[in-house]
Amino acid sequence: MTRTLCLAQEPQADALLAADPLALLFGMLLDQQIPMEKAFKGPKVIADRMGGLDVHRIAESSEEEFVELASTPPAIHRFPGSMAKRLQTLARFLIEEYDGAVENVWTRGEPDGKEVLKRLKALPGFGDQKARIFLALLGKQLGVEPKGWRAAAGAYGEKGSRRSVADVVDAKSLGEVREFKKAAKAAAKQG
């Protein structure tokens, strides 16, 4: 992954997301109940505090130490303790199931879009919606396009949509995604 991303809206954090699949996956996990930019800055904060982002070091850290690292201001999340535990659980799962190589989730055995979606949904902390958004992010912004990925990603895979983080490429598109979410929330309240 050597593409340019603009998810954290901060060049160094975005460079890490583009270069390191673990950072991107962690950012996606953190993307709940906080602004998207803060979520995707979280991996850079962790990397800075640990001297790099290493799935094995994270998995093997004591829970107390990792929670403290995540909670130190500025905390990586609104709920840093529970999110630190989720990140460690995800790191351990990646080691057990994918030899610690995140890209194996979407490359091992040359899977199609349905299989990648199934694998993403199996990740700790990833439900159906988060998995579909991440699959769309891989396809739209990182050139990871297994056969049938758009269909597997559902509406998130649509060309030109402004539904999710998968569609954020700059400050303007971030605003458009926020407007879409605001409108969808308003429609849900009325419906």
Condensed to tens digits (0 to 9), the pLDDT of residues 112-155 reads: 999 999 999 999 999 999 999 999 999 999 999 999 999 999 99
**Rounded to an integer, what distance in angstroms lies between the CA atom of residue 104 and that of residue 110?**
9
The overall average pLDDT reported for the chain is 96
Q: What is the pLDDT of residue 52?
A: 97
pLDDT digits (tens, 9 = 90+) for 49-105: 999 999 999 999 999 999 999 999 999 999 999 999 999 999 999 999 999 999 999
Where in the sequence is the domain holding 35, given as residue range(s)? 11-159
Q: 171 in a domain, yes or no?
A: no
CATH code: domain of residue 116: 1.10.340.30
Q: What is the pLDDT of residue 189?
A: 87
Q: 96 in a domain, yes or no?
A: yes
Q: 105 in a domain, yes or no?
A: yes
Q: 67 in a domain, yes or no?
A: yes
Q: 146 in a domain, yes or no?
A: yes
Q: 107 in a domain, yes or no?
A: yes
Q: 181 in a domain, yes or no?
A: no
Number of domains in the chain: 1
pLDDT digits (tens, 9 = 90+) for 7-17: 999 999 999 99
Q: 170 in a domain, yes or no?
A: no
Higher pLDDT, 1 or 168: 168
**Rounded to an integer, what distance in angstroms lies between the CA atom of residue 147 and that of residue 79?**
37
| Residue 97, SS3 per DSSP | helix
Q: What is the pLDDT of residue 64?
A: 97
**Rounded to an integer, what distance in angstroms lies between the CA atom of residue 142 and that of residue 63?**
32
